[in-house]
Amino acid sequence: MVLRQDILERVLQDLVVAELSESQRDKATAPDEHALTPHDESLDSFELYTVAAAVSIMFHVHETGLEDLLLARPRPQDWVEIVQRSLNASGKHISFRSSGSTGGKTLHQHNMSDLLREVEFFISALRRPTRIISTIPSHHIYGFLFTALLPSRLDIPIIDARGPAAVTRKYTAGDLLVSFPFALERMLHFGSMPGEGVTILCSTAPCPPELAAAIRSTGAELVEIYGSSETAGVGIRRADGEPYSLMPYLSRADTSDPSALVLCDAPASEQGQASQTERVIHMPDEVEWSGRRSFRPLRRRDGAVQVGGVNVYPEEVCEHIKRHPMVATAAVRTHKTKDGVRLKAFVVPRAATGNSTTHQPADSSDIEQQLREKLSAKLEAAARPIIYSFGTKLPRNELGKLRDWQV
């Protein structure tokens, strides 16, 4: 049994609620966050099919021939039993969707043995925790590794502290806090950052250097993890200003592509033996190497930016804005706020004329309202611009290249 039953129920609940939130984004009612599937008729047949398919795809239930039972027995306890049976029968693979929030989500398959090996590495690398406090969902790869596989392997309590619970909870020595930069920034802001004896894992987005230094100054052990939905964990960093160190079972590939890595199927303890197979994987960022086993991420290769731990693609958001019939062109960029990085948009309406980039057409408020309504129905909150600026032309520098603008 790979997953403890209560933990598997938590993973399924997170997955189903996420799928319902996506499919019901343009509806007035939100999904029930306390049940996998309701016992009444609140889910129509299409929604039930969608969430059942998501469960089957993530856990590869279709490989064991049990996927039809998800539709035939749509009760929470039945789904836990069905997925557990599937894991016990096969359980060789698991798939995760990337967290891109603009419709560009892609599916990434992993060998369960690779993920278990990563968990074993962290068990050896960290102080053994007495309980895990989680501020993240468990159906994405980072959450699955550290709030599902790890507590199942160690058989320790897992406590959900998403939202305000993260800043109001009392932490004790021996806790392992699994979090991400935005949540840690809020904890620091409200003076609730754990101190000595607590280990903090941080991933999903780069941890700003000043935040990392502030966390470590409290006495807590901060371990920054670099990874992605495509690669799982790639490297860790334990000290301010240091590069990331590769996981022991990864090595730099002998190619001209600095993002290419070799993943050995042999366990780390058997590295002296000939491995059965080797696979090349690619980091999502351009990186700078320091020797063969240390690196620094530079920038995303796919144009994504991190907003609240979610991969957001400004160019794709911009394309959504440009499709509005009253929009001639637009630009979308990141905007730093006191709560972290968000998006801002500069919009040129079709009726706009003149030469000023600061002139605001009379109908801009109507266009903004329509854009907000449109994007609210199509995009997750992280991908929606929070500030709109309007003008007769996009802001450009003396070379004609797009430049930033003040808001």
Which CATH architecture group holds 313-390?
2-Layer Sandwich (3.30)
Average pLDDT for 290-297:
94
Identify any residues that bridge with 342 across adjacent strands, giving them in sequence order. Answer: 335
pLDDT at 96 over 60: yes
Residue 364 backbone phi and psi in degrees, to 5 = -65, -35
Domain 92-300 in this protein, CATH class: alpha beta
Six token digits for residue 211: 């935040």
Residue 147 in contact with residue 138, Cβ under 8 Å?
A: yes
Average pLDDT for 382-403:
85
**Residue 62 confidence (pLDDT):** 93
The domains of the chain are located at 1-90, 92-300, 313-390
Cα(38)–Cα(44) distance, rounded to whole angstroms?
11
Tell me what percent of the residues of the chain surpass a pLDDT of 90.
Answer: 61
As to burial, measured by CB atoms within 10 angstroms (0-12 exposed, 13-18 middle, 19+ buried), residue 34 is exposed
Q: Can you tell me which residue has the tokens 């100054």?
A: 217
Q: Look up the pTM and report it.
A: 0.77
Span of 18-22, 82-86, 165-169 with lowest mean pLDDT: 18-22
pLDDT at 356 over 60: no
pLDDT at 270 over 50: no
pLDDT at 171 over 50: yes
**Residue 1 confidence (pLDDT):** 58
- In terms of Cα–Cα distance, which of 33, 18, 34, 37 is closest to 75? 37
Give pLDDT tens digits for 142-157: 999 999 999 999 999 9
Chain centroid to CA 339: 18
- Top pLDDT among 371 and 36 is at 371
Per-residue pLDDT band at 124 (split at 50, 70, 90):
very high
Cα(363)–Cα(154) distance, rounded to whole angstroms?
60
Give pLDDT tens digits for 311-341: 888 989 999 999 999 999 999 999 988 878 8
